[in-house]
Amino acid sequence: MTYRLTNKNVVLGVCGGIAAYKSVELLRLLKKQGATVRVFMTRNAQQFVGWMTFQALSGLPVCSDLFERGEDASFKHIDWAAEADIAVIAPATANLIGKLANGIADDALSTFLTAVQAPVVICPSMNTNMFLKPAVQRNIKTLEVHITMPKLDHLKNSGSQQRTICHLETRGIISGFPRPQFLPPRVLS
C-alpha cells in the first residue's frame, strides 16, 4: 500500500556512495507522490551526483554545508528539521550510520538528523563486507529509526573478483514509508 505524500515535507539526505544516483529517482518518485522535497547532500555525495540535479528536480535549494553564506543562508539543519514530516536518508553510508548511532553531528546532514523529531527512514547502501561488519551491524541496531534493508546486487570490481553491494531499492522505499505520526522503530521489508 502506497502512502500518499501530498503536501508533506520530506527531507532527503544523500550520502556518498555509488547508489547516490538512485536518490535522483527517489526524489522524482517523492515529487510524483505530491511531496515537497528538500535535499541535504554530504560532500562525498557530490562526488557521485551534482547538487544542481537535485535542485533542478526539487525546485528548492540544496544544503551541503552547515555554514552556507549568501542571501539564502540560514540554519537549514534547524529550520528543515522543524518543518519535516519525514526524513529519508538514501543512500546511508556506514559513516553516516556510525555518526547517527553515536550522536556525532559534524556536517549539515548529521546535524539535521540530530535535530529532527519526525520519523527517519535509513536506507543502508554499501559493500556487503562493510554492511556485515559487527560495528556497522551494532550501529544499525542502535538506531531509533525505520530501516529499509538493502537489495543485494552483484558488481564486478576492476579485477575478476565478484563483490556484492547493498543498493537501495527506490520503489520499496516509497511503498514502505511509515505514516507521518510517530511509529516505533522497525525494519521495513
According to CATH, the topology of domain 9-182 is Rossmann fold (3.40.50)
Cite the beta strand spans of the chain per DSSP E. Answer: 9-14, 36-41, 62-63, 86-92, 120-124, 146-148, 151-156, 162-167, 187-188
% of the chain beyond a pLDDT of 90:
45
Span 160-189, pLDDT tens digits: 444 444 555 555 555 555 543 333 344 444
Span 47-90, pLDDT tens digits: 999 999 999 999 999 998 877 665 554 577 788 888 999 999 99
Distances (CA, A) of 47 to 7, 16, 17, 121: 31, 7, 9, 23
> Between 73 and 93, where is the model more confident?
93
Span 15-43, pLDDT tens digits: 998 889 889 999 998 998 899 999 999 99
Q: Where are the domains of the chain?
A: 9-182
Q: Let me know: does 77 contact 11? Beta carbons within 8 Å.
A: no
For the whole model, what pTM was predicted?
Answer: 0.81
Q: Let me know: does 49 contact 21? Beta carbons within 8 Å.
A: yes
